[in-house]
Structure 1
Amino acid sequence: MRFSLGSWCIFPLVAGLVLAINYAAAQQRGSSADSNPCVSKLNCSECIRTPTCAWCAQHDFGAAEGGRLPRCNQQNKYIDGPLAGQCRLEDIVNPDSEFRAILDLALSKAKSGIDLEGTEGRDAVQIKPQRVSLKLRINEAYDMHMQYAQAEDYPVDLYYLMDLSKSMEDDKDKLSELGNLLAERMQSITSNFRLGFGSFVDKVVMPYVSTVPANQVRKAAVSGNLDAPEGGFDAIMQAIVCKERIGWRDRARRLLVFSTDASFHYAGDGKLGGIVKPNDGLCHLNNDGGYTHSTTQDYPSVSQINQKVKESSVNLIFAVTKEQYHIYEQLNKHVEGASCGVLSNDSSNVVELVQEQYNKITSSVEMKDNATGAVKVTYFSNCLGNGPMVQTNKCDGLKVGTVVNFTARIELSGCPIDPKEWRQLFQIYPVGINESLVVDLQMLCDCDCERPGNLGYISNADQCNGGGDLKCGICHCDDSHSGRFCECDSNTAVLGDHEASCRSDNTSDILCNDRGTCVCGVCECQPRPNPTEIITGQFCECDNFSCDYYNGLPCAGSDHGTCECGKCVCKPGWKGSDCSCRDSIDTCIPPRGGEICSGKGDCVCGECQCFEEDGGRYSGKYCEECPTCPSKCPEYTPCIQCQVFESGKLTKEECANCSFTPVEVDVVKEEFPSDRQCWFYDDDDCRVTFVYGYDDEGEFVVRVQKTKECPPVLNILGIILGVIGAVVAIGFALLLLWKLFTVIHDRREFARFEKERQMAKWDTGENPIYKQATSTFKNPTYGGKQ
């Protein structure tokens, strides 16, 4: 395989409000724990990891009440509470999300050279801002706003990677003729354009390619393979990762056109040729542009190709023949930013195909990110309209300079176990563009006063009787001490009576709510048989398993909410006593826009409850179906005719404006609940079947059966000639029958005659009916006289 390249606000950290606790009476404390998830948190880290909770780091907080006041409480209870002012403002730990734009250049096109003002050239800026810093609490969402616009005259690098197997020989000749035309056509799109060319065949080992010297690939311009698939994945990998060899520029839209008429080998196929070493995803091109590891490394996998495409921001265009289109159409779905087009048999349409795919790529933008673990990013946009923002990461119909506003909602579902992962750097980027928004994320998983060297941290503190460290106002005892102030020494065995500290109120004799053991004034809660079920709280009053269940899971599962002190704390986007109800109407709006539930239902818990009217009941995910209403089949028929079968009454311009792109399938069937089957007859009286509806992801899909059901074609001339032939044949047959009958009759008569003759008794020499002839003479002149 050889390659060659041609010319080419700050939001300040607010320390909350004054900590105060709604503590009216001891009897009310138990009920408040059931409705307040904050009070069960025993340290500052646990407290700030719970939304809306704040911590009081004051050492003597609640001393007058015997230390029973919870240090962690909801911040909306700090306002005008009966104990307002009990905690000093400087001791409130209530971190808020902090956002800061580090690099925020305006959207602009590229500029080269030095202008009259002496300003040097700069690269185009298509995403804004470019780098930000964000501090974020767990289970709290932050909406970050950003913009994207395709810059005018943006640089384009196009690399054409062609299959040079024997079946593509005529395509090679045609491509050489169209090279200049392709360059000229792309120059009309951008003045900053570079074009390169590369070729590939399969691995030069059996059983892929004949290794007979006369047939070796290295000695031929084109190659004949022994098997059908080609080694295109090797070529794609090298074309992407060999940045310097190929000549990819940092700031350019990179297009890799992959042209072939065959399928592909992928990871694992190398074993057939004795090649078992996995592909390492590195560049292995020599100075002549040849792939040096063809016979030593296996083919890349689809995931490897996808990873490298994302890392290098390459737009992969599969230009394949019609017979292979369905294979690469499926592959296209697993490679980010890839597209697929049908190549004519001699590649004569390559210029139009590349321009069409380029226009399709540049007319849309899709935002993605490489965030991992506990970081979740959700995208919202109104694309080109002025309507409300809806959940989507893709916008179509863009033009050069069109500004699209996106909102990235960043959420943290939890703190990683390793504190090193509390600081992460991830990117938000438009697919296929080598520009991104870099997010420097710091997870607020602990408090400063819990770390040595910070205010509020005292080692071997006197407040803890020298038996532990003071962290954020509470004592953390060493292994030999226990108690609220580390006053109990396990080595002395003089514990005293500390049971009063284990009672939830002064009127009860129950220690630790009968769910724990009082050890030196501190409740040690009992373990549960199920290790995931935990009892917590100062008096063992809380647990994580006594919440409402949905589908057998507390709070509908960890994706929906968490069980905090017997009550569900729902995550953003969910609500209800069991967190099973969606707190959004986005899922009730059809993907193509429109009214909530199509105006025919109410959005309840994120799902449409359709109306029932006199004409019938509406149905479907978005109440878009009505059995007694007129069908939408005639509405979609013209677009299907023009897009799939290139027929019908629509012009090319009208066809391009269709609101959907049908998917061709071998056999149409209803796969989703909202699917509705339709059919129509075209001008040739052929029946076309299709199905429309919404898939599991809420996307509108139209699936069309590739083959039409056509009536048999009548051959008029054949019928006429057949009738004439039949008449002639019948007449000839009748003549033969007549002739046969006459012959039979004659033979019968002759046989009868012969029989009668043989039965005669007279001499055969005499004729019994013979009579002697009698002669009479008369003179015509005789008058009767003598």
Structure 2
Amino acid sequence: MVASSLVLVFLLALNRGVSEIDVKVSSLGDITEWGNSDLSISGSCQPASSCQKCILSHPSCAWCKQLNFTASGEAEERRCATRQELLHRGCPPEELEVPLGRQEVMQNRPLSQGERGEGATQLAPQRVRISLRLREPQELQVRFLRAEGYPVDLYYLMDLSYSMKDDLERVRQLGQDLLAGLQNLTRSVRIGFGSFVDKTVLPFVSTVPSKLRHPCPTRQERCQPPFSFHHVLPLTGDAEAFEQEVGRQSVSGNLDSPEGGFDAILQAALCQRQIGWRNVSRLLVFTSDDTFHTAGDGKLGGIFMPSDGHCHLDSNGLYSRSPDFDYPSVGQVAQALSAANIQPIFAVTSATLPVYQELSKLIPKSAVGLLSEDSSNVVQLIINAYKNLSSTVTLEHSPLPVGVHISYKSQCGGSERTAEEAGARGQCTNVGINQTVTFRVSLQATQCLPEPHILRFRALGFSEELAVELHTLCDCNCSDTQLQAPHCSGGHGHLQCGVCSCAPGRLGRLCECSEAELSSPDLESGCRGANGTGLLCSGKGRCQCGRCSCSGQSSGRLCECDDASCERHEGILCGGFGRCQCGVCHCQANRTGRACECSGDTDGCVSSEGGLCSGHGHCKCNRCQCLDGYYGAVCDQCPGCRTSCESHRDCAECGAFGTGPLAANCSAACAHVNVTLAVGPVLDDNWCKVWTLDNQFFFFLVEDQAGGKTVLRVRPPEKVVDHTLATVLGCVGGIVAVGLGLVLAYRLSVEIYDRREYKRFEKEQQQLNWKQENNPLYKSAITTTINPRFQEAEHPHS
């Protein structure tokens, strides 16, 4: 069913144009399913029943579409193998189907500064099409140029709770200084203003009507009713308008310490039209002297509905739905700022500085600065933060489709930093103006994409984007597709990628017989051994049309050969340098051995003096096999070194140090050797190690010399120091010290406990101010009894 569907697709594609083949074939659900299931096969290429399954099984797999490529009885699955193996088996290069990942740059404007910072091209390329073969990475190079004078929009978001009263006075005069400071860095600057307090519900603000009208402590102060967020001034280049609007503002008040700053940040990021953000560098300056409410705090005021992530500013610029929605979470604020490409600068006082420093770690491309008590340093703080943010280039990507993975390598001024973890970003810090940095982005797919996916890259804080159109290569673009092909027994099947797909009722590799002929015993006899006996196809295949169709790695007329039973080298069949055929490795040129393990090269046998194996051995499998008495990688070590240690030890000792048994007649007894002192460490285990009588040892190396004498290179002796006594004393001393420490610690804890209990006893004694007889709690109840008869006797009736 799949094969017939593919044939129809290819015929339609031939009628409409070859360019449509990719889209139509990749839309088949069967191919996507193959891509998800066959990826479990790891290691080298394995046989596959079709070209599509073949290329999805492993990146090294290729498919030979040559007609009659497989031998008699050999399964068509054997068309799937590595490119080298197929070429070795005789498949012409033009008949190989090997989809290769590729890149096509569709737009690549050169990096430029532009004029006065505007119209600059800072990110290149701008649009790329990438085709990925499954599990085969493609590397994309992205360059970024930091342009001078890039335009800036700055929105000043201020806490107007009562504690910020003195800061407001300073901010009222801020417009000219702020514009002048930023214009030294860029010529195009706009500033805006917004303010916040908190949600106007208990327990965040007082809901007493008089307090809602005037929340400040004294009636004489200028004070405005509390509010959540108020957008006061859209972004403008008019400093006087900024000072004028800010001058109309007055402080307000709330009850609890945390403020509703997250509501304000979220609305400033979402309401881009109202704020007036341009597609330039966007800065949001957040000033406060206290912490912030976050998601979940709204439940204290009976607010349970999460923030919906939409703009809710009314005609007056007020956040109208503040009492309806809970405070946003840190993640929601970070996502909104990132989506709007806004870089926040938190200018906060020293008491809350640690809190905002931790917050900044969760928000990409953000900065924190220490604000003075009256905001007098805010202009310099903003300028420093902007310089720091603009000199940090962070490349990030949009969400990835399922089955696509990404990693970054950042090249920043010659150095390279790698971020391999999932979801990582590329980043370079301290990037100067006019400096270009490079990011190498590696993309890899493990599943077929049902349709092309647009993946976007951007440098945080900058407006430009790189759009990457991702495709996956999950099909074979075979040009031999034919319906009712003559090759398939005169039209009894459809030809695709060199394989016949038989019509209903037809069977065989070339559709040469019908199902009605299968019952003929003559056909089965061709699939058995001599005299028609034995298992059909040796039990390793199927009998079709009187011929064996072998399964797996079997081959031969009766599937008697196992093409996976050859010897292995380092766990790889035929060492990866040959083809296994009927249990025997057929090696590539310049390879020998039962598992093709031997290389015909001799570069590994050449010594530094030249010649193979230093003339003391012969080269086999690119490794030296030394003659008796010689050793080393190239047989360059002297003969008998290990056995001559004892014979030369006395000469080495007397010649170098004048000691040992031959010290008296060293020159005569050791005339056949030359002794030299060596400087430096022992290089290998060819050195002889000799112990002397005074518990010392030295090393010497025996070398040959052309004059017939033996050269002994001797290192100075080293005395062995016995550390046994020091070790024992150290252990005993340590045990004693630990014991004394434990005793002192126990005694100190008991003393502290006793003193604490005694002080508590004295304190309780001092609190006994009343004596028991004066304490009304200890007085007994008074009972009064009245005798009515006594009263009658005292007052008789008249």
Q: TM-score range by the shorter chain?
A: 0.5 to 0.7
Structure 1 residues 61 and 322 mapped into 2: Cα distance closer, same or farther (>3 Å)?
A: same
> Secondary structure of 2:339's match?
helix
Deviation at 1:153, TM superposition (A): 1.0
For the 8 Å contact 1:458–1:469, the answer to whether it is kept is yes
Separation in 2, partners of 1:52, 1:143: 18
Q: 1:246 aligns with which of 265, 275, 291?
A: 275
Q: Paired residue for 2:262?
A: 233
Q: Paired residue for 1:139?
A: 135
> Secondary structure of 1:219's match?
coil
Deviation at 1:354, TM superposition (A): 0.8
Q: Paired residue for 1:60?
A: 68
Separation in 1, partners of 2:118, 2:513: 69
Q: Paired residue for 1:401?
A: 434
Separation in 2, partners of 1:46, 1:202: 61
Separation in 1, partners of 2:165, 2:259: 15
Structure 1 residues 184 and 415 mapped into 2: Cα distance closer, same or farther (>3 Å)?
A: same
Q: Paired residue for 1:219?
A: 225
Separation in 1, partners of 2:202, 2:504: 69
Q: Paired residue for 1:92?
A: 96
Amino acid aligned to 1:48: I
For the 8 Å contact 2:263–2:328, the answer to whether it is kept is yes
Deviation at 1:70, TM superposition (A): 1.4
For the 8 Å contact 2:201–2:301, the answer to whether it is kept is yes
Deviation at 1:249, TM superposition (A): 0.5
1:208 and 2:208 aligned:
no
Which ranges of structure 2 fall in alignment gaps of 5 or more residues? 1-18, 20-40, 214-223, 227-249, 421-425, 553-558, 565-569, 572-679, 682-798
Alignment of 1:445-524 (within 5 A): 445-449=474-478, 455-458=479-482, 470-475=495-500, 494=519
Q: Paired residue for 1:440?
A: 469
Alignment of 1:52-131 (within 5 A): 52-64=60-72, 66-67=74-75, 70-79=78-87, 81=88, 83-84=89-90, 86-87=91-92, 89-111=93-115, 123-131=119-127
Deviation at 1:76, TM superposition (A): 2.9
Separation in 2, partners of 1:94, 1:437: 29
More helix by share: 2
> Secondary structure of 1:70's match?
helix
For the 8 Å contact 1:200–1:232, the answer to whether it is kept is yes
Q: Deviations over 1:330-354 (max 9, x none)?
A: 2212212122222222222211211
> Secondary structure of 1:279's match?
coil
Separation in 2, partners of 1:502, 1:123: 79
Deviation at 1:405, TM superposition (A): 2.2
Amino acid aligned to 1:51: P
For the 8 Å contact 2:360–2:368, the answer to whether it is kept is yes
> Secondary structure of 1:341's match?
strand
Q: Deviations over 1:36-66 (max 9, x none)?
A: 8223233222322322221123343225564
For the 8 Å contact 1:55–1:73, the answer to whether it is kept is yes
Deviation at 1:225, TM superposition (A): 1.9
Deviation at 1:128, TM superposition (A): 1.1
Q: Paired residue for 2:631?
A: none
For the 8 Å contact 2:109–2:125, the answer to whether it is kept is yes
1:187 and 2:183 aligned:
yes
Amino acid aligned to 1:46: K
> Secondary structure of 2:406's match?
strand
> Secondary structure of 2:351's match?
helix
Separation in 2, partners of 1:308, 1:328: 18
Q: 2:169 aligns with which of 167, 173, 176?
A: 173
Structure 1 residues 517 and 352 mapped into 2: Cα distance closer, same or farther (>3 Å)?
A: farther
Deviation at 1:154, TM superposition (A): 0.6
Alignment of 1:760-779 (within 5 A): none
Separation in 1, partners of 2:148, 2:301: 49
Q: Deviations over 1:748-782 (max 9, x none)?
A: xxxxxxxxxxxxxxxxxxxxxxxxxxxxxxxxxxx
Q: How many residues align structurally?
A: 479
Deviation at 1:370, TM superposition (A): 1.9
Which ranges of structure 1 fall in alignment gaps of 5 or more residues? 1-11, 13-33, 113-120, 450-454, 526-536, 543-547, 550-612, 615-786
Identity of aligned residues (%): 38
For the 8 Å contact 1:39–1:71, the answer to whether it is kept is no
Structure 1 residues 388 and 227 mapped into 2: Cα distance closer, same or farther (>3 Å)?
A: closer
Deviation at 1:203, TM superposition (A): 1.3
Q: Deviations over 1:609-630 (max 9, x none)?
A: xxxx99xxxxxxxxxxxxxxxx
Alignment of 1:254-653 (within 5 A): 254-372=282-400, 373-385=402-414, 393-416=426-449, 419-420=450-451, 423-449=452-478, 455-458=479-482, 470-475=495-500, 494=519
Separation in 2, partners of 1:274, 1:67: 72
Separation in 2, partners of 1:178, 1:495: 101
For the 8 Å contact 2:76–2:499, the answer to whether it is kept is no
Q: Deviations over 1:619-656 (max 9, x none)?
A: xxxxxxxxxxxxxxxxxxxxxxxxxxxxxxxxxxxxxx
Separation in 2, partners of 1:437, 1:212: 55
> Secondary structure of 1:326's match?
helix
For the 8 Å contact 2:75–2:550, the answer to whether it is kept is no
Amino acid aligned to 1:374: G
Structure 1 residues 253 and 36 mapped into 2: Cα distance closer, same or farther (>3 Å)?
A: closer
Amino acid aligned to 1:56: C
Separation in 2, partners of 1:185, 1:139: 51
> Secondary structure of 1:62's match?
coil
For the 8 Å contact 2:44–2:60, the answer to whether it is kept is no
Structure 1 residues 94 and 361 mapped into 2: Cα distance closer, same or farther (>3 Å)?
A: same
Q: Paired residue for 2:247?
A: none
- TM-score, normalised with respect to structure 1: 0.54
For the 8 Å contact 1:489–1:495, the answer to whether it is kept is no
Deviation at 1:188, TM superposition (A): 1.0
- TM-score, normalised with respect to structure 2: 0.53
Deviation at 1:131, TM superposition (A): 1.1
Separation in 2, partners of 1:178, 1:463: 86
